[in-house]
Every structure is written in C-alpha cells, then in structure tokens.
Amino acid sequence: MDTVALVVLIVCLTIIVVVLAAALWWQGRRSKELQERFGPEYERELRRSGSRNKAERELDARRQRVEQLNIRPLRPEQADRYREAWFGTQARFVDDPREALEDGERIIEDVMRARGYPGGDFEHRVADISVDHPEVAGRYRKAHGIARAPRAGVEPDTEQLRQALLDYRRLFMELLEDTPQRRAS
C-alpha cells in the first residue's frame, strides 16, 4: 500500500471514529435531557416500550406535540372558581367517596381544557400532562385506575378512594399553580 492510500485510510478512519463519538455523545446528552425532563415517566416509558430508542422517540414526540399547544395559565377568577369546586368535591367525599372521585376527575378535565390541553382519551391526556408535570403523571394514572375500577367489577375501599382523590388533588394543584414564570424556571 502506498503512502497516499495509507494516509487516506487513516483520515477516513479518523473521521468515522469522530462521527461515531459525536453521535454517541449526542445520544447520551439527549437521553440525559429526557430523563431530567420526564423523571419517573422516562423509566415508565422505557419499561413499556422495551427499547430506549422507542421510549425516547415517544417522549420527544410528546414534547413536540405539547409545544405546539397553546397551554396557558388560568385567569385568577377561573382558578378561584375551580378551587371552590374542588373544595366542594373534597367536602362531599365523606358522604359519597366514589362520586367525589368522579367529580374530581371531571374538574381536572375541565381545568386541562381551560388551560389549552386538548380533550381526547385518557392516555392522550396523561401523555400531554407528563411533559410539564411528569412527577404527577403516574399518580394521575393510578387515581384514574381506581376511579374506573367499579366498571371492571372491582370495588375500591374507602382508603383507596381517599388516596386517589389526594393524587387527583396533587395534579389539580399543579395545574392551578402553573404559571409562565414557573414553567420557565
């Protein structure tokens, strides 16, 4: 092999190594950013999809979809109205826990629509919520499962209903307190 061919080969191999190293660095950086943004939702999606690439594509697609939405904070009078409805729901829990839980879920859906989240089925709502509120997305799923259990012939006990309402309340409070300043930090 002559010297020119050897130099070309070394240059080509160097370029390939640099490109591969850059791709691995970028992938690691992207993974870290998604893990930090989505927290427990990242791990959940990883388990669900069975593949890091599939999980990260799904989470990135969620992020892009939500960035296209016009998510906005509630006006103070809206927030006050929803807060009052929520307190009424909590007060009704003692007399009718299951009905209170259903009311809580309806209030959350109303707040989400008022904030600019699209309607749709539950899985789409929780996926959208997971972008800006990943810490409560799992709780939202759990509470929803308890609220829907009677439809599957399973009757949750009062403690499960209470915990579900608390999980809904955590999401509700995050949705009420979310402001542009908070989202930027």
Q: What's CA 97's distance to the chain center, in Å?
A: 26
Cα distance between residue 141 and residue 126, in whole Å: 7
Question: In terms of C-beta density within 10 A (0-12 exposed, 13-18 middle, 19 or more buried), how is residue 117 classed?
Answer: buried
CA distances from 13 to 17, 22, 89 (A): 6, 14, 67
Q: Which tens digit of pLDDT belongs to each residue from 80-112?
A: 999 999 999 999 999 999 999 999 999 999 999
Tens of pLDDT along 64-80?
999 999 999 999 999 99
Q: What's the whole-number average pLDDT of the chain? A: 88
